[in-house]
Amino acid sequence: MFNLLKTAVLMAAITALFMAIGAMLGGRAGMMLALAIAVAMNFFSYWFSDKLVLRMYNAQEVDESSAPQFYRMVRDLAQRAGLPMPRVYLINEDAPNAFATGRNPDNAAVAATTGILRVLSDRELRGVMAHELAHVKHRDILISTISATMAGAIGMLANFAMFFGGRDGEGRPANPIVGLLVMILAPIAASLIQMAISRAREFEADRGGAEISGDPQALASALQKIHRYAQGMPMEAAERHPETAQMMIMNPLSGGGLKGLFSTHPSTEERVARLLAMR
């Protein structure tokens, strides 16, 4: 119930951002148009954003015949968690990472890069996939997927405001400086909304994943290893779609420019310390 409330708050906050940018672009008429777009985007995000995110990463669905060991691992962990079997995807990407998506446990998907399968031991990989299934069990996946889709849309709308100008509340041309501020501040505001939700969510998924796998040390070891590899191995799809970074088990961005100002993930050191304290 609490996660449903968080989802409603997230959608309302991002809708308000849409309306503010719409008002800058076209006054009252622009605000109402932005409201209509936001409602349509919220509908789309609820039903289709998981498919959009998987397409962004060119994720390929696998089954027991195409990836038997990995598929059976996910199935075993889903049974331990008392969850329906999610759809399982692989992403042909060297950078080690993983995420879960979908609107509820009955329509969930988990995805992992081919790099993470190569880098981690079976025990560590179980810890990572248990973490992703904890997101499914806690119903975090709808929040993260909607926020990724909507944050990307806000970025595009802010760029539109910059390049095409806007109107004030009485229909007069807006100050171009205001357009520049909107272009810079709107994506930052969207990132702050994501941050407010995602950091606590990662700690809870770590704890839940450790309970599902029964092995907090394995997840701690996996996080340390992913952190080391990720330092010099940026994830190309995530760099193209930085709004999806908060869905990953580890921040996949290189940290350059505005992307590095805000982190949607807690520090690896703190996550590891909390996991090791569960022993």
Q: Which pLDDT belongs to residue 128?
A: 98
Highest-confidence segment of 22-36, 159-173, 207-221, 247-261? 207-221
**CA distance linking residue 99 with residue 131, whole number of Å:** 9
233 vs 69, residue with greater confidence: 69
Contact 180, 94 (CB under 8 A): no
| Percent above pLDDT 70 for the chain | 69
For the four alpha carbons of 53, 56, 62 and 68, in that order, the dihedral sign comes to: negative
Please give the residue range of the domain that contains residue 240. Answer: 2-276
pLDDT score, position 13: 72
Rounded to an integer, what distance in angstroms lies between the CA atom of residue 123 and that of residue 47?
34
Residues of the chain with pLDDT > 90, as a percent, come to 44
The answer, yes or no, to whether residue 251 has pLDDT greater than 70, is yes
* Residue 219: Cβ within 10 Å count: 31
229-234 contacts, C-beta under 8 A, 24 or more apart: 229/95, 229/96, 229/115, 229/119, 230/95, 230/96, 230/97, 233/94, 233/95, 233/96, 233/115, 234/95
Determine the Cα–Cα distance for residues 171 and 156; give it in Å rounded to an integer: 22
User: What pLDDT was estimated at residue 259?
Assistant: 46
Catalytic residue among 93, 132, 202, 243: 132
92 falls in which pLDDT band (50, 70, 90)? Answer: very high
Q: What is the pLDDT of residues 39-66, one digit of tens each?
A: 777 677 677 778 989 999 999 999 999 9
pLDDT, residue 147, reads 67
Question: Contact 237/97 with Cβ under 8 angstroms?
Answer: no
Asked if 15 and 72 count as a contact pair (C-beta separation under 8 A), the reply is: no
Task: Identify the pLDDT of residue 203.
Answer: 92
Sorting pLDDT into bands at 50, 70 and 90, what band is 29?
confident
Domain count, the chain: 1
Considering 6-15, 29-38, 218-227, the range whose residues carry the highest mean pLDDT is 218-227
Give residue-wise pLDDT tens across range 186-241. 666 666 655 656 677 899 999 999 999 999 999 999 999 999 988 778 788 888 88
The pLDDT value recorded for residue 70 is: 98
Concerning whether 236 is annotated as a catalytic residue, the answer is no
Strand runs labelled E in 63-184: 87-91, 98-102, 108-113
User: Who wins on pLDDT, 169 or 80?
Assistant: 80
pLDDT at 84 over 70: yes
